[in-house]
Amino acid sequence: MTELTIGTMTDDADASVHLDARRFNRHTFWCGQSGSGKTYALGVVLEQLLLRTELPMLIHDPNADFVRLAETRAGASTEHAAAIAQTDIRVFRSGHGEGDKLHARYVDLSPAAKAAVLQIDPIADAEEYNALLHWSVSTTDFDTDEMLRDFRASGDPAYIRLANRMENLQVLEWDLWSRGAGSVVDVLDERPRATVLDLGGFDHPAEPKVAALAVLESLWMQRESRRPLLIVIDEAHNLCSPEPRTAVERALTERLVQIAAEGRKFGLWLFLSTQRPTKIHPNVLSQCDNLGLMRVNAPRDIAELAEVFGFVGEDDIRRAQGFAQGQALFAGGFIAQPTFAQMGERLTEEAGADVRVPLRL
């Protein structure tokens, strides 16, 4: 089945709106300001992809909105509940809560990514970069204390400076590192139907970005296997800024730009969700062929959307300024013509719903 039923026509509640599942083999941009229902609606589409396709998904989840993707709501049909229950959905949690931990191995990162984590410049810090380049260790025998002792015992000034840098930046204390144990990359290699990465619980602001970088680097290195994967990034501005500031952010943005430009032919397809188009790197945004647009008020954003997505009439895009919550415009390869829809109900639990204002009784 190639049709995904995601809601009804805004002007005809009896007419269903369908997306063509086959056309998720191109990059998709999903946009809506805060309060538009963007994340809830994203969940509707992801549920349909789980039910109607065999396409594996990797979901970068900064606000823990999709960590309950395997739990159906009480109102879900028996058929849908059974189908979701039988689906291989893996959730990896950051921080100190329960469940499978989101871990990655520092030793698996590319030399450039390792250097970015340690803020090492290959020219300005040439000796340290070279020492890092030639350092190797078994992934199973990796021990941080032993590594630091070995660096200092070597007597090599570059390795000693490298040890000091690691300690001063407290990088080795991050919860992200597996410290010789398993990595989320190992699980992703198995291609579960959905792999949810809860990125919001880390203590250090760089950890979620390094987690994403570790996964994307691994996928890119294995791109020649041509195993299809939909890479969903909620609040994508956190990982794909037009103005990356740190070395890690630059490395992550460069990888996403590369996937946007070349990933389609390898089966790596992006699904980016954010509040404003101007918060996404233009070299990624310009590669998107599918558009899901919810309420957007800012004139600058409307103008940007009209310029980038020339296959949609500007008048249609301007209607987004008056959308009610849950209303959306769909256009591009995954639908025959620009269509205005009222999104349907979620089948699974949304974990990150808004906090209500306490009222007097």
Q: State the angle between helix axes of 144-153 and 157-169 in degrees (0 to 180), rounded to the nearest 10.
A: 150
Greater pLDDT, 262 or 75: 262
pLDDT at residue 142 greater than cutoff 70: no
Same domain? 270 vs 167: no
Same domain? 184 vs 302: yes
Provide the pLDDT confidence category of residue 22 given band limits of 50, 70 and 90.
very high
**What distances in angstroms separate CA 245 from CA 126, 213, 249, one per listed residue?**
21, 15, 6
Same domain? 144 vs 38: no
pLDDT at residue 84 greater than cutoff 90: yes
Counting beta carbons within 10 angstroms of the beta carbon of residue 301, is it exposed (0 to 12), middle (13 to 18) or buried (19 or more)? Answer: buried
pLDDT, tens digit (0-9, with 9 covering 90-100), for 295-352: 999 999 999 999 999 999 999 999 999 999 999 999 999 999 999 999 999 999 987 6
User: In this predicted structure, what is the pLDDT of residue 356?
Assistant: 66
Provide the pLDDT confidence category of residue 95 given band limits of 50, 70 and 90.
confident
Paired strand residues for 58: 195, 231
Give the percent of the chain with pLDDT over 70.
Answer: 96
User: In this predicted structure, what is the pLDDT of residue 143?
Assistant: 73
**Are the C-beta atoms of 20 and 26 separated by less than 8 Å?**
no
Same domain? 76 vs 92: yes
Q: Provide long-range contacts, Cβ within 8 A and 24+ apart, for 173-177.
A: 174/202, 174/203, 174/204, 174/207, 174/210, 175/94, 175/95, 175/96, 175/101, 175/202, 175/203, 175/207, 176/94, 176/102, 176/103, 176/104, 176/202, 176/207, 176/210, 176/211, 177/103, 177/104, 177/105, 177/106
Nearest to 348 by CA among 60, 86, 69: 69
The Cα–Cα gap between 291 and 273 comes to 10
User: In this predicted structure, what is the pLDDT of residue 359?
Assistant: 67
Same domain? 82 vs 100: yes
Same domain? 110 vs 63: no
Same domain? 10 vs 115: no
Give the percent of the chain with pLDDT over 90.
Answer: 84
Question: Tokens standing for 215?
Answer: 């996964």
Same domain? 221 vs 272: yes
Mark which of 149, 173, 197 sits at the end of a domain.
173
Same domain? 297 vs 233: yes
Segment 270-288 shows an average pLDDT of 96
User: In this predicted structure, what is the pLDDT of residue 97?
Assistant: 67
**Are the C-beta atoms of 122 and 113 separated by less than 8 Å?**
no
User: In this predicted structure, what is the pLDDT of residue 353?
Assistant: 59
- Per the prediction, the chain carries an average pLDDT of 92
Provide the pLDDT confidence category of residue 121 given band limits of 50, 70 and 90.
very high
Number of domains in the chain: 2
In which domain, by residue range, is 117 found? 106-173
Mark which of 141, 173, 205 sits at the end of a domain.
173
Same domain? 57 vs 82: yes
pLDDT at residue 58 greater than cutoff 60: yes
User: In this predicted structure, what is the pLDDT of residue 75?
Assistant: 85
User: In this predicted structure, what is the pLDDT of residue 138?
Assistant: 65
